[in-house]
């Protein structure tokens, strides 16, 4: 039984989108043709969706230089930049009403790094509040320790509810045709909605901070069969 795994086939990554990838339109044509020509042989279609909010740690509006100016897209923010205050995160970042946590301490401390100091402050009412600068220092430190890259600021892209978040029309049409022909339904995997970490992979965030951003063993096992 064949599983077709499609990664972020969204309009913002295609010509005309805010983070267009060269030759993505040609890739979309190949994917569309593949689905239509092999529909009967495809048992499952699993499609990942990069899905962000405007105030994401890798978007310009999350940061300022202290003068009210946000970093330009493709600015690299290092741990040193955050420590020295070259780039300052907003302190009013909060989860949506449907999200209980931006950070789950149990997940954050599950690795070898343990709990960072001064991650929380207490307001005048005794309520615990995330110290956003301390989190960004910790995040960029953990990101750089992995040795892959530093924090890159991207143009706002794949914002939930916008046209750029949707699947390219030809691929979407082919997937719906596949569904009607075979009786299957596309399995959607959303990633990137946690404001405080990045999800380059559909399997795990770069720095897991909640259960939902931790390694998705169930997805891995299902597409490895």
Contact in structure between 198 and 205 (CB atoms under 8 Å)? yes
Residue with structure tokens 């380059």?
200
- Single pTM value for the model: 0.90
The pLDDT of residue 10 is 98
- 225: confidence class by pLDDT, cuts 50, 70, 90: low
Q: For helices 24-37 and 169-182, what crossing angle results, to 10°?
A: 10
- Model pLDDT, residue 80: 97
Q: Which of 114, 123, 113, 117 is nearest to 91 (CA)?
A: 123
Which pair of tokens denotes residue 177? 């045709």
Tokens of 125: 């009412």
pLDDT (tens digit per residue) in 73-98:
999 999 999 999 999 999 998 877 66
pLDDT in tens, 6-15: 999 999 999 9
Residues 6+ apart with CB under 8 A from 116: 108, 134, 135, 137, 138
**Average pLDDT over every residue of 154-163:** 98
pLDDT at 100: 59
Q: Where are the alpha helices (DSSP H) in 162-203?
A: 169-182
Cα–Cα distances (Å) from 181 to 38, 89, 177, in that order, read 11, 49, 6
Distance of CA 25 to the CA centre of its chain: 22
């Amino acid at each position: 039984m064949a599983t077709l795994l499609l990664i972020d086939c969204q309009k913002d990554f295609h010509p005309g989108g805010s983070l267009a990838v060269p030759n993505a339109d040609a890739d979309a044509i190949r994917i569309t043709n593949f689905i239509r020509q092999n529909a009967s042989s495809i048992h499952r279609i699993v499609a990942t969706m990069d899905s962000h909010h405007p105030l994401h740690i890798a978007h310009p509006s999350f940061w300022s230089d202290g003068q009210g100016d946000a970093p330009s897209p493709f600015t690299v923010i290092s741990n040193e930049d955050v420590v020295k205050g070259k780039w300052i995160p907003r302190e009013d970042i909060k989860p949506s009403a449907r999200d209980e946590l931006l950070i789950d301490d149990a997940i954050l401390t599950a690795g070898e790094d343990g709990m960072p100091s001064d991650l929380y402050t207490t307001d005048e009412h005794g309520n615990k509040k995330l110290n956003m600068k301390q989190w960004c220092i910790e995040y960029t430190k953990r990101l750089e320790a992995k040795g892959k890259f530093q924090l890159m600021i991207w143009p706002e892209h794949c914002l939930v509810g916008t046209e750029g978040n949707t699947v390219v029309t030809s691929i979407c049409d082919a997937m719906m045709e596949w569904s009607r022909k075979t009786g299957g339904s596309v399995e959607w995997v959303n990633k990137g909605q946690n404001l405080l970490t990045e999800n380059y992979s559909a399997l795990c965030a770069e720095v897991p901070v909640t259960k939902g951003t931790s390694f998705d063993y169930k997805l891995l096992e299902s597409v490895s069969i």
